[in-house]
Amino acid sequence: MELLLTNLAHGFGVALSLQNISFALLGALIGTAIGVLPGIGPVATISLLLPITFGLPATTAIIMLAGIFYGAQYGGSTTAILLNLPGEVSSVVTTLEGYKMARNGRAGAALATAAIGSFFAGSVATVLVAASGPLLTQVALSFGPADYFSLMLLGLIIASVLAQGSVIKAIGMVVFGVALGLVGTDVQTGQQRFTFGIPELSDGIGFVPVAMGMFGIAEIILNLERPEARSVLTTKVGSLFLTREEFKRATPAVLRGTLVGSFLGILPGGGASLAAFGSYMMERKISKGRHLFGTGAIEGVAGPEAANNAAAQTSFIPLLTLGIPSNAVMALMVGALIIQGIQPGPRMVEAQPDLFWGLIASMWVGNLMLLVINLPLIGMWVALLKVPYKYLYPSILVFCSIGVYSLNNNVFDVYMTVLFAVFGYMCSKLKLEAAPLLIGFVLGPMMEEHLRRAMLLSRGDWGVFIQRPISATLLGIGAVALLAMALPNLRKGKEKAMAE
Amino acid sequence: MRINHRDVVAGLFLVLLATIGLFLNMDHNLGTARRMGPGYMPWMVFLLQAGLGALVIFVSFGKRGERVEVVKPEGIDIVRIVSVLMFATAAGTLYLTQYGGVRADKVVTFTIMAGAIAAGAIALWIRSPETDGTMAAWTQGEFVAFVAAMVAGVLAWYFIRGAGGYFSQGYNAVGIGMLVGFLVLAIPPGWRYLGLICACMCIFGLFLEKLGFYLALIGTILLACLAERDHIRKPLGVLGLTAFLLVLCWFVFIRELDIRVNLWPT
């Protein structure tokens, strides 16, 4: 406990330095600004802004990216409530009750509930991350290569099971992502793989061109093709203050949401959207206002919003302790860390205490900032909502182009982004999800390394994966998850939940 | 027969990508399970992917799987398939004549041909499952534009790469080939956005190092604005947007981030 406090104090020392706090603020501001722009979710926002952070020191860069992430997430809730337009999957449930509240003239109250609920959940989850991080790191250090491989495999399986649409297609995309990750120089023999003699490919396909092409540019093309998806703001915000009655109903929902979200966020492949869904289901079943659902029940905003923010924090746990991204946003964080020259994993606590504890402390700082910048400045965000898409897309395009070029000062990356944009567009037409591909792409090289090491140690015996207890357990969970999806009832349940 | 048409194409797509990967992987030593060579992991991964792709196709035919959008396959007429095959052969031959005497790398040649066939076949069907308005089955114009874009792009790249000077430097010839291809693609309304938006980024890549930051931005923004009909009616808005973005990009990237890039033509 004492050690935890010392560490947290150290973290706050890092996070509250003038440079870090100003970049956290800047990140949250930009993240919110871009997150409220219709049609741009957190993944697109982060990949768009990733190049801006390259010039910063590693700790500051990650703190800023985390700020962007929270901001974008919160911005997504704002559009969900005011426009009935979820910026991303995790705010889909917020549209259900939030937009109804807005139609009833309680948009301000819904926004305030979302902000306060998120702040409370974020604070609790931050403490949780700080407490469990070092413990899990200890566990992770006892992992052998075989255990690591199984853990990553489990992460990939769960990520694809929870993806939207068909599980088989999602696994197919994960696998292709792993394959894309293998392009470049083979670490052990130095042989060039799949590079076609192009020197730029010998370091592997760039992470940013893939993310930006598939999430940024392809999204623009798809948005332009469906003009009806963009809508206009008609509702008024109204008073931000909650009535006593609303406050009484929202409080327990926030508490439950925090609990559900913190737990579901830790799961590999879980994260904010699963947490929001879970909390919404729970509120509809057990909250006092359950009979009001469908007419603008405040519980339906408070619970899911608290849950998705708690999950957004706790999904950092697998990343910080094991180096494994649990969703597409965390895959972007891994990409950012690697570009900064830091290999995420259990050694990060020892090797980069500033980064580890600074990031945790800045989670709380970032949440506080969100509260501060969101409620008083709500008028400004509402004004941003009114920016028409015809002015937005040229701006996004230009920012993407400059950003991707400035990675290596090479136009090659610009053309790669174009190719991945076309690829992303095709995938989207074929309902092949891009998010699993990104996770596979990040994990691919690590998996190969661990697999090779594990097989070398076991002298070529594949049995090692079931002989080691940790590895066997992890693989067992993965198998159960896959089998569960093969059962028609469960699959239908998932489809139904996703459809809602 | 009732099949989920989109899933068939998605499965084919995965299988084709895996097949290309497996062919390319023939260059790499597999090694043994104990001492894995550079080809071992790709080999496993692509085999798994091909299997999954086949599974996707299989499921789409059965009673199980997503039964949401069941679309009758249409537009698979012989003429189109044959013309795509011919185009692929032409591309392959072009490649062979170019490298034929020097290094007849059959694997690469084969891959490129397979890739061209794959792209053609997939692109042929990729739109037909869509049922909403503009996304109906391929029109004649879209099909012609697709083939023409491929041919024009490859030809542009092929002839311009030897032109010397600017055109032979770095990736400029590739960029011009892509730009020409995407612009041709943008002619029919159905491909308009895909073609124009991709062409914008090519313009940026082509302009940036030669003409400088500001002209590259102006070119990209103006071309991007062509994609939205509103902008064509209101040129003042485009002007304002361009000015605003120039100032914003100057502030963010040049003043604050100080990226290394030519600002003016060289």
Q: Which residue range forms the structural domain that includes residue A34? A: 2-499
Residue with tokens 């590693």: A58
Q: What is the pLDDT of residue A463?
A: 87
Amino acid at A163: A
Reading the block at residue B96, the tokens are: 């062979």
Quick: pLDDT tens for B33-79.
888 888 889 989 998 998 898 888 777 765 444 444 444 444 445 44
> Chain A residues with CB inside 8 Å of B6's CB?
429-431
Give the three-state DSSP class for A193.
strand
> Chain A residues with CB inside 8 Å of B10's CB?
169, 172, 430-432
Residue from B29, B35, B40, B52 to probe the interface with A (highest A Cβ count within 10 Å): B52
- Whether residues A399 and B249 touch (CB distance < 8 A) is answered with yes
Reading the block at residue A54, the tokens are: 């390259």
Reading the block at residue A309, the tokens are: 């923010």
> Chain B residues with CB inside 8 Å of A411's CB?
170-171, 175, 205-206, 208-209
Chain A nearest CA to B82, separation (Å) = 22
> Facing residues of B31 across strands?
B36
Integer Cα distance of A175 and A177 in angstroms: 5
Smallest Cβ distance to B42: which of A182, A405, A411? Answer: A182
The span from the first CA to the last CA of chain A, in angstroms, equals: 43
**Dihedral sign, Cα of residue A70, residue A74, residue A79, residue A80:** positive
Q: What is the pLDDT of residue B59?
A: 77
Residue with tokens 């090479």: A410
Integer Cα distance of A32 and A440 in angstroms: 28
Domain total of chain A: 1
Reading the block at residue A313, the tokens are: 């924090």
Chain B nearest CA to A488, separation (Å) = 9
Q: What is the pLDDT of residue B185?
A: 92
> Chain B residues with CB inside 8 Å of A452's CB?
36, 40-41
> Facing residues of A193 across strands?
A184
- Whether residues B257 and A415 touch (CB distance < 8 A) is answered with no
pLDDT greater than 50 at residue B16: yes
List the one residue out of B175, B259, B219 whose CA is nearest residue A415: B175
- Whether residues B259 and A409 touch (CB distance < 8 A) is answered with yes
Chain A nearest CA to B143, separation (Å) = 16
Reading the block at residue A27, the tokens are: 């990140």
Give pLDDT tens digits along chain A (500 positions).
677 788 888 888 888 888 888 888 888 888 888 877 766 777 878 888 888 887 888 888 888 888 888 888 888 888 888 877 766 667 778 888 888 888 888 888 888 888 888 889 989 998 888 888 788 888 877 888 898 899 889 888 887 877 767 888 889 999 999 999 999 888 888 888 888 888 888 888 988 899 889 888 888 898 888 775 555 556 667 777 778 888 888 888 899 989 988 888 877 666 677 788 888 888 888 877 777 787 878 888 888 889 988 888 888 888 888 888 877 888 888 888 888 888 888 888 788 888 888 888 888 888 888 888 877 888 788 777 777 888 888 988 998 898 888 878 889 999 999 999 999 998 888 888 888 898 889 888 889 989 999 999 988 888 889 888 889 988 998 898 888 877 765 666 655 555 54
Instruction: Evaluate whether ipTM surpasses 0.85.
Output: no
A267: left (phi over 0), alpha (psi -120 to 50) or beta: beta
Query: How does residue B219 score in pLDDT terms, banded at 50, 70 and 90?
Result: very high
CA atoms in the 13 A half-sphere facing the CB of A321: 24
> Chain A residues with CB inside 8 Å of B261's CB?
405-406, 409
Helix (H) or strand (E) holding A273: helix A272-286
Integer Cα distance of A35 and A143 in angstroms: 38
Number of Cβ atoms within 10 Å of the Cβ of B134: 12
Q: What is the pLDDT of residue A416?
A: 94
**A196: buried, middle or exposed (CB in 10 Å: 19+, 13-18, 0-12)?**
exposed
A80-84, B181-185, B261-265: segment of lowest average pLDDT: A80-84
- Residue pair A173/A437 in contact (Cβ under 8 Å)? The answer is yes
Q: What is the pLDDT of residue B117?
A: 61
pLDDT greater than 70 at residue B177: yes
- Whether residues A400 and B261 touch (CB distance < 8 A) is answered with no
**Dihedral sign, Cα of residue A301, residue A303, residue A306, residue A311:** negative
CA atoms in the 13 A half-sphere facing the CB of B144: 6
Average pLDDT, chain B: 76
Better-scored residue on pLDDT, A80 or B81: A80
**In the 8-state DSSP scheme, what is residue B188?**
S
C-alpha distances in angstroms, A432 versus A172, A272, B9, B20, B53?
9, 21, 11, 19, 11
Integer Cα distance of B137 and B120 in angstroms: 15
Chain A nearest CA to B247, separation (Å) = 12
- Residue pair A336/A62 in contact (Cβ under 8 Å)? The answer is yes
